[in-house]
Structure 1
Amino acid sequence: MSNGASAQAASATEAAVDYDVVIVGAGFGGLTGLYRMREMGYSVRLFDAAADVGGTWFWNRYPGLKVDVESVEYSLAFSHVVQQEWTWSERYSGPEELCRYANFVVDRLDLRRDIQLDTRISTTEFDETNGCWVLSTKDGELVRARYVMMATGMLNQPIKPNIKGLDRYQGEQYHSARWPHGGVDLSGKRVAVIGTGSSGVQIISTIASEVGHLHVFQRTPGYCLPLRNHAMTADYSKRVKANYGQWRAAERYNSFGGWVALNYDIGEPVTESALEVTPEQRRALYDERWENGGLAFYNVYPDVYTDLEANATLAEYLQEKIRERISDPELADILTPKYPVLTKRLIAETDYYEVYERDNVTLVDVSEQGIDEITAKGVRVGDTEYEFDALVFATGFDAMVGSLKAMDVRGRGGVTFKEHWEGGARTHMGLMSAGFPNLFIINAAGSPAPLFQPIILGQEQVEWVGRLIKWLDTNDLNCIEATADAEDRWGGLCEEAVAETLFPLTESWYLGQNVPGKARTGLAYFGGMVNYRQYLTEAELDNYSSDFVLSKLP
């Protein structure tokens, strides 16, 4: 069917339903969008392929999974009622509790009536004749909307392992991102875990005590540090609730990554250079964060991100901590990372390094040779074949761009995101792409999402979109589209920002290097939330006149 023909046919179909805004994705970004758009008086419908709300926490259920930002901070800030009425059971929540929380939000704020679950959007096409988006579900329902908000998340599309012979394997196979909700009985079995990022580390720490024998295939070690999870104390919960306004302001405006908790209080940002303080002062600051656990080490001296000498002060501190936990020096050397710290995601864990003291755990270092192939019985590395009853792939995601490139979203001329982003992610401010009018992207490519708490970032992006749509209404307009020149400039700003840091020195999903052939262009904005927010503000003050095309559609 020629471009636009299917969309025009949809316009004439009686089954089509009109909404001001359609949202795809029932994670926290999508729920924020639904709440905000409806609060502003727009008709909204939210769709999700999952059977329940919760987004990534619905799909990810692997053993040991915990969020690595404290529960009191990894939560929605737009409702005072929700903040006061919900009480977390743990300092760091697991997927089951996070999904219960999402359901509480949905019911407490009466959002469920505008949510349609178990509904996969098969195509999303811009109808150029009628000036609207036409979404088709897998069941054939056609829905028209003036605006579309894609809240499909930055870590949504799992990477299928690209290993020779995968289809030949005759045992059980599992991927961390699509773990069976009913759980998996691995007791007594010979199990391989391939991948030692956050997912792999949490799985390894949890299943080691129940499997018969566990082999861990490691290519690159991570900087792993204790999560220090425990049951939520009534005192801590009460103190945070009494001062949530202060906590939220600090997260948004006075933090590096959108979280500030430091030993059960609001941590102050560090402004000095790591090289300007004494070794004793530096050690005290690092010790304070070690005591806290979790991701507190992101809130350290700013030059740790930009200067190798400053970075080495923290890297050496954490390397020392890792070696203290491993009795075998040779094993400790394999498990200790050598690259600049923080250039890959820190991994918060529980007794991970202690796992390697167990007789039923074997570490296989594949940093140089790699895995040669998957055989019918297991894994071959060089001349050695390891036989297993089950393979667990913790191989991560096609971050930032994967979900939209996997979806059939067609903008002007029938161009898809996969085609438009072939040479790298092209966005303006991580919110819109040229050729996709009135379509907004939340917490994905071109945004600060890798280094800033997505719940807070998503709320700021949704609020910006809401003000934009209201401005269009006020000015008798109904269409906005980023220009190609704006995409070029934003891609350049993204590249300039990351080039000023140490991130390019390490292969990571931050820069797309976990996917063969993936371009890092425009993938994320590493210039900080303060600068990002300034760009959003300038676009508003400029009445969107510089980098967008504004128009009135039918």
Structure 2
Amino acid sequence: MTAARSSTPTEVDAVVVGAGFSGLYLLWKLRKHGYTAVALDKGKEVGGTWHWNRYPGARCDVDSHDYSFGFDEGLEQEWEWSERYPSQPELQAYLAHVADRFDLRRDIRLETTVTEAHFDDDTKKWTVRTDAGDTYVAKFCLMAVGCLSVPKDVDVPGLENYTGPIYRTSSWPEEGVDFSGLRVAAIGTGSSGVQAIPEIAKQAGQLTVLQRTANFVIPARNHKLDPAYVADIKANYRERRLLSRSMPAGCIRDDNPKTAFEVSDDERRAEFEKRWEGGGIAFLGAYSDLMVDQKANDAVSDFIRSKIDEIVTDPDTADSLKPYGYPMGAKRPVVGTDWYETFNRDNVELVDLRKKELDGFTEKGMRLADGTDYEFDAIVLATGFDAFTGAFSTMDIRGRQGRSLNEAWSEGPKTHLGLGTAGFPNMFIIANVGSPSVLANMVTAIEQHVEWTVDTMDYMRDQDLETIEATAEAQEAWVETVEEIANMTLWPQGESGSWYRGANIEGKPQIFMPYAGGIVLYEETWNEVREAGFKGFVLQP
């Protein structure tokens, strides 16, 4: 239950926007450090992305014991993960358990959308208003909004003509959907589509998959966890957490220090085969130079394309499923279950829109440019997100002198260290643009950010400081640093239209948004900034 609404402004030390992993840890940490806080979230339940993305097959691609909080030993000992990669229902249950176990719900307002957050130049406080008519006044505004929380606008020609039911993976009906015997179209073959389509194919009478860009899909090899394995992890959990924090990706991945071409062709193929059979994100650690050397990336890309030929029985379908034109990893690599195998089913058809142009959708289905008509009983959209900045742009956020964040970020999002942005004092950004975020284990990245944020708030309280704010010069330098490090890798390369750069949104400024240096170098950098007296930030008494 959420607390009763108030018609008068509520004063707290901090307003937290979001009640997913970031928001929950922030509430716990703030309370521990003696701050009053409220978390506001539009969902009916806590969980953030794991509340909304409840489509069939939704699952994390980081091992469950690593994709979890490390702040409380009792929590990690009592919670029982059932699978290698946790499913959406299990993650939702975990986050609800965290909210209950630590009595966080009394400071959470669910079904509450933040409409505006304005900084007052005179009082040096934030006023946050919601669609429910509530107003909160706080010294700190903490943006725990997530990187993938606002779906991109649908860019499918003529979809408005279709009169049947349309389902979005990013806001799936709580009651689920029964596709038994139906003719279904699925649009989008990124992470959500790759997870949902094999599950929908098991029900649908006919499933037509519309693919615009083929993706590199690595098998998950998900499985139930062996009790002895779990017992060993729990016996050494503290050491495991420390080890995760010492790895660039923020999780244990068994990375191979060798480069791809310092070994023989046979050894390299064998390593790829071993990683493929083992499944999951460990595949990306096969060699140390896969994301920095094009020749090495070509080798792993060719390997994946060869596996598609081995798995998919129809040569034309296999050819369409092979990604070309960008390095493996330039678009987020997808971990899936039975993805390629699904296209061997008699009830599944792949329509490669690069080979068969879409004329548009009709009242009952769609028409291809060659005149071929399809009729559908339902359409599923897995068309992606307005990554990083989407959640910010939906709110009216105004900093000093009433300047809007949308205006400040009109050339792309600019932050200093991914923590704060010039002109918006005491607004901290949690594990989002300008930080490792999606290029690492998100939970580890979140824990880093929350700890830095609350420690900084403590410093301000101890030193009797009123505001902290990034300088324009520092954030320009950090944007350049993020771009420079990305350009040392293959992430920005190719014609992938990657959401890492905002390229999946028409008109969105093209800058590389996550920090590609890994969480270890990232933490070292901000420690240097702190030790230099918060270099690049202005702190006012």
TM-score by length of 2: 0.95
Partner Cα distance (1:455, 1:375) in 2: 43
Which of 251, 254, 257 is equivalent to 1:259? 251
Aligned to 1:297: 283
Cα distance, 1:354–1:159 mapped onto 2, change above 3 Å: same
For 1:73, the aligned partner's letter is D
For 1:289, the aligned partner's letter is R
Once the two structures are superposed, what CA deviation does each residue of 1:144-193 show, in whole Å capped at 9, x if it has no partner?
11011110100000012122322221111111101101011211111110
Q: Name stretches of at least 5 consecutive residues in structure 1 with no aligned partner.
A: 1-12, 262-266
Aligned to 1:549: 538
Cα distance, 1:309–1:469 mapped onto 2, change above 3 Å: same
Partner Cα distance (1:428, 1:369) in 2: 45
Which of 453, 475, 487 is equivalent to 2:463? 475
Once the two structures are superposed, what CA deviation does each residue of 1:498-547 show, in whole Å capped at 9, x if it has no partner?
11111222321122111112223252212222321122111110121x31
Partner Cα distance (1:458, 1:46) in 2: 16
Q: Moved runs in structure 1, 4+ residues, more than 4 A? A: none
Given that residues 23 and 45 in structure 1 are in contact (C-alpha distance below 8 angstroms), is that contact kept between their aligned partners in structure 2? Answer: yes
Aligned to 2:3: none
Once the two structures are superposed, what CA deviation does each residue of 1:112-159 show, in whole Å capped at 9, x if it has no partner?
222221222221111111110011121211111101111010000001
Partner Cα distance (1:56, 1:237) in 2: 26
For 2:470, the aligned partner's letter is A
1:274 is paired with a residue of what secondary structure?
Answer: coil
Given that residues 69 and 295 in structure 1 are in contact (C-alpha distance below 8 angstroms), is that contact kept between their aligned partners in structure 2? Answer: yes
Partner Cα distance (1:481, 1:165) in 2: 46
Partner Cα distance (2:359, 2:514) in 1: 32
Partner Cα distance (2:474, 2:361) in 1: 45
Residue 236 of structure 2 corresponds to residue 225 of structure 1:
no
Which of 506, 509, 532 is equivalent to 2:522? 532
Identity %: 43
Partner Cα distance (2:166, 2:402) in 1: 37
Aligned to 1:449: 437
Residue 44 of structure 2 corresponds to residue 35 of structure 1:
no
Mapping of residues 365-444 of structure 1, within 5 Å? 365-367=352-354, 370-382=357-369, 383-444=371-432
Given that residues 427 and 522 in structure 1 are in contact (C-alpha distance below 8 angstroms), is that contact kept between their aligned partners in structure 2? Answer: no
Aligned to 2:110: 117
Which of 231, 235, 247 is equivalent to 1:238? 231
Aligned to 1:335: 321
Residue 505 of structure 2 corresponds to residue 511 of structure 1:
no
Given that residues 124 and 408 in structure 1 are in contact (C-alpha distance below 8 angstroms), is that contact kept between their aligned partners in structure 2? Answer: yes
Aligned to 2:331: 344
For 1:130, the aligned partner's letter is T
Partner Cα distance (1:246, 1:337) in 2: 39
Cα distance, 1:370–1:71 mapped onto 2, change above 3 Å: farther
Report the more deviating stretch, 291-300 or 363-372. 363-372
Cα distance, 1:175–1:542 mapped onto 2, change above 3 Å: same
Partner Cα distance (1:535, 1:35) in 2: 26
1:480 is paired with a residue of what secondary structure?
Answer: strand
2:280 is paired with a residue of what secondary structure?
Answer: coil
How far does residue 365 in structure 1 lie from its aligned partner after superposition?
0.6
Once the two structures are superposed, what CA deviation does each residue of 1:332-384 show, in whole Å capped at 9, x if it has no partner?
11111123212222211111111111221111011256533222122222132
Partner Cα distance (1:87, 1:515) in 2: 39
Given that residues 185 and 380 in structure 2 are in contact (C-alpha distance below 8 angstroms), is that contact kept between their aligned partners in structure 1? Answer: yes
Cα distance, 1:135–1:277 mapped onto 2, change above 3 Å: same
Partner Cα distance (2:346, 2:122) in 1: 67
Given that residues 406 and 418 in structure 1 are in contact (C-alpha distance below 8 angstroms), is that contact kept between their aligned partners in structure 2? Answer: no
Once the two structures are superposed, what CA deviation does each residue of 1:401-433 show, in whole Å capped at 9, x if it has no partner?
111111121112222222221111111111111
Partner Cα distance (1:130, 1:18) in 2: 13
Given that residues 425 and 522 in structure 1 are in contact (C-alpha distance below 8 angstroms), is that contact kept between their aligned partners in structure 2? Answer: no
Partner Cα distance (1:315, 1:163) in 2: 29
For 2:53, the aligned partner's letter is N
Partner Cα distance (2:405, 2:186) in 1: 33
Partner Cα distance (2:128, 2:47) in 1: 22
How far does residue 285 in structure 1 lie from its aligned partner after superposition?
2.8
Residue 192 of structure 2 corresponds to residue 199 of structure 1:
yes
Aligned to 1:82: 75
Aligned to 2:259: 273
For 2:179, the aligned partner's letter is L
1:373 is paired with a residue of what secondary structure?
Answer: strand
Q: Name stretches of at least 5 consecutive residues in structure 2 with no aligned partner.
A: 1-5
Report the more deviating stretch, 469-478 or 74-83. 469-478
How far does residue 461 in structure 1 lie from its aligned partner after superposition?
0.8
For 2:229, the aligned partner's letter is Y
Once the two structures are superposed, what CA deviation does each residue of 1:465-496 show, in whole Å capped at 9, x if it has no partner?
11111111121212001111111101111111
Report the more deviating stretch, 88-97 or 20-29. 88-97
Cα distance, 1:518–1:259 mapped onto 2, change above 3 Å: same
Given that residues 163 and 371 in structure 1 are in contact (C-alpha distance below 8 angstroms), is that contact kept between their aligned partners in structure 2? Answer: no
Residue 54 of structure 2 corresponds to residue 67 of structure 1:
no
1:145 is paired with a residue of what secondary structure?
Answer: strand
Mapping of residues 315-330 of structure 1, within 5 Å? 315-330=301-316
2:207 is paired with a residue of what secondary structure?
Answer: strand
Q: RMSD over aligned Cα, in angstroms?
A: 1.6
